[in-house]
Amino acid sequence: MRSPRLLLPALCLLLPSSLLAADDKPRTAEQLAASARKSVVMILAAGRTGKPEGVGTGFVVGDGLIATNMHVIGEARAITVQTSDGKRHEATTVHATDRGADLAVIRIDLKALPALELGNSDDVKQGREVVSLGNPRGLEYSVAHGVVSARRDIDGRAMIELRMPVEPGNSGGPLLDTNGRVQGVVTLKSAVTDNLGYAMPINALKPLLDKPNPIPMARWLTIGALDADEWTTLGGARWRQRAGRILVEGLGSGFGGRSLCLSKSAPPKGPFEATVTVRLDDESGAAGLVFHADGKDNHYGFYPSGGGLRFVRFEGPDVYSWHILKEMRSDAYRPGEWNTFKVRVEKDKLLMYCNGKLVHESDDKGLTEGKVGLATFRGTKVEFKNFQVADKVKTALVPAGLAERVAKSVKDIPTDALPKPDLVEKLIPDGDAGMAMLRERARLLEQQAVQLRILAREVHHQRTLKELARAVTGKEDDIDLLRAALLIARLDNEELDVEHYRKEVERMARETGAGLPRDADEAAKLAALNKALFQERGFHGSRGDYYHRSNSYLNEVIDDREGLPITLSVLYIEVAKRLGLKVVGVGFPGHFLVRHVPAKGEAKLIDVYEGGKEMTRDDADKRVGAQYDRPLQEEDLAATGTKAILVRMLQNLLGLAQRDEDMFGALRYLDAIVTITPEAGRERWMRALLRYNTRQREGAREDADWLVEHHPKGIDQKLVQELRERLNQEK
């Protein structure tokens, strides 16, 4: 994410651009503004009430196509475009998006607007005069004149630095050179100075126009939406789901900015428990569990508020019906972190827990039945995960003796939060020498904290490898490709919820199949699959930062609808399987494909990266000839086994780690490759060298011994022996 201290989104810059084709004759800012007026639009994104709330800028790039910033249109929001004549048009399609580049293209049903000519931003030099037009702070059609001050790398993206005023409302507008060509999309303003801003080079927009991923508004508005079969939201605010979490932002319409999200599942009739894990964006906010909710204004609430904990009863819409039953402070609560809250509802009492510790017991009987769910107050931005309601919710049990073992391992770490006065008095006479000793002790403890974090990462890594090993055990046809691919992504993301994404794929398949007749044949199912993934949901091949690791993480591909040929193919294979279609991976040279193998009829090659486009054998032959200067061979079209698909995904990640000189990342991926294919001699040799270079001598020796024992092809045994001798000398 961009640092909030250095950069601010230049929300919705409206930069008018020339209605006419650009020419080589320089024009004044006044001339540019006049000629571009009809090509620049105002973009209004709907708020929680459905009415336009955020205001931004866009510009015409084709028949009915408007370019802007991704952060201008938001996500799952209705979008309205206001043209220079004051008329408003609803967006019909989100034509293309690139979250990483913060770019988007939307479509409206109006083709009469002139498009601006796009320049070549690679040619933009320092000192070049530029003009931007927009809607700063909601003021319609404003012109700013300045120069390109530099080319900067901002959060890994090459951007154009501008010496000119950029204000909220300017985002999404065109940056014009004096010939009227668009050289950039204004995106950010500096938080340090008023006369400094940044634009995304226009060349980053061109791939979106060449290879769009259109999503109809009906589908766009459901992206990230809560499952309507599971949840009911009340009182406004914006509730959505992403990566297995429920997120909410915006002010609710109830008393205190209250908004509820209630589970449609009725709680058990007898004693029951409800639990959720919560993280507040700001500890001054409030959000947590509600229970005995009637679907209107009555409910109990148990949640963090202002750094403490609160138990309340609401019996109406105003302050007079709000009863704070208990305010408390507890050392069990960890400000700024994930905290788990649990309520146990019994016949005669209510028990409240924070992170496993009982913090309050109540015999209040003001409310006795109703739904269970979540609440946010005062517009608090918050994340929820692991919501459960059951007779007794499942909790992670601490194995006997674990606490004692951990305590013994870290026995030198002090547990007191603050020094005691008598200890301070005792150390004062030691003077400078005593201070030096204290600082040395602090340094050692800081080092130990670093080691404990490393230990936690290693425990996560080894645990994931063990799960991966179980996932790939057995026959190839029995391997759970989806689970294994998600575990690969979890190597780098400790919080990845594998089961959530499995359910999300199930949901995609269920929704895709819902519109099919019972007797639908395979051709109909395949057509429905392509329509659902590429037309309705907008999955597409990455066009911007192709080599970003996110494109290799299946969970992020599902979230962002963008990925590499192989990750998109894995998703395609898994959804197809749930529709009763046999689709296999094809390790085509340099570009992974899939093949639909029907029960009857001819198999079809499909390029998932290109939106499910069918590839003929002649197409494949031409592609191999163009790239490798040889004819197509049968092995080029052979089906790829499940393990080989997983290894290929890991090889992609390994290549990126090597490019970034990330030795520890490379080790993670090599560990996973060896877990899947223990006979992988080349990877074992690479791992042995990396382990040696990262001072993991025992692991390096283990790999060297294996290589000597098994003599894999392609490995120079002389070099292996030299490594073993070096390791033996360093014992």
pLDDT score for 361: 97
pLDDT score for 445: 66
Task: Judge contact between 483 and 501, C-beta under 8 A.
Answer: no
* b/e sequence 370-390, b meaning 16+ C-beta within 10 Å: bbbbbbbbebbbbbbbbbbbe
| Length of the chain, in residues | 731
CA dihedral 175, 178, 179, 183 (to 10 degrees): -20
The pairs formed by 322-331 with CB atoms below 8 angstroms and a separation of 24 or more are 322/255, 322/256, 323/366, 325/362, 325/364, 326/360, 326/362, 328/359, 328/360, 330/354, 330/357, 330/359
pLDDT score for 295: 94
Q: Which residues contact residue 129 at a Cβ distance below 8 angstroms, ignoring those fewer than 6 apart? A: 145, 146, 147, 177, 178
pLDDT less than 50: residues of the chain: 1-21, 48-49, 398-399, 402-403, 405-418, 420
Helix axes 565-578, 498-514, angle to 10 degrees: 60
pLDDT score for 432: 62
pLDDT score for 8: 40
- Rg of the Cα atoms in the chain: 29
Domains present along the chain, CATH in parentheses: 7-218 (2.40.10.120), 231-390 (2.60.120.560), 403-465 (no CATH), 476-643 (3.10.620), 679-729 (no CATH)
pLDDT score for 83: 92
Other beta carbons less than 10 A from residue 532's beta carbon:
21
Q: Which residues contact residue 511 at a Cβ distance below 8 angstroms, ignoring those fewer than 6 apart? A: 532
pLDDT score for 172: 93
Reduced to 3 states, what is the DSSP secondary structure of residue 277? Answer: strand
Question: pLDDT tens for residues 285-339?
Answer: 999 999 999 999 999 999 999 889 999 999 998 888 889 999 999 989 988 889 9
Report strand pairing: 79-82 vs 65-68: unpaired
pLDDT score for 153: 87
Three-state secondary structure along 473-503? CCCHHHCCHHHHHHHHHHCCCCCCCHHHHHH
pLDDT score for 19: 37
Which uninterrupted H or E stretch holds 654?
Answer: helix 642-659
Other beta carbons less than 10 A from residue 326's beta carbon:
15
CA dihedral 180, 183, 186, 191 (to 10 degrees): -120
pLDDT score for 137: 53
User: Strands, E, within 575-622: which ranges?
Assistant: 583-586, 593-596, 604-607, 613-615
Question: pLDDT tens for residues 133-160?
Answer: 886 555 566 788 899 999 998 877 899 9
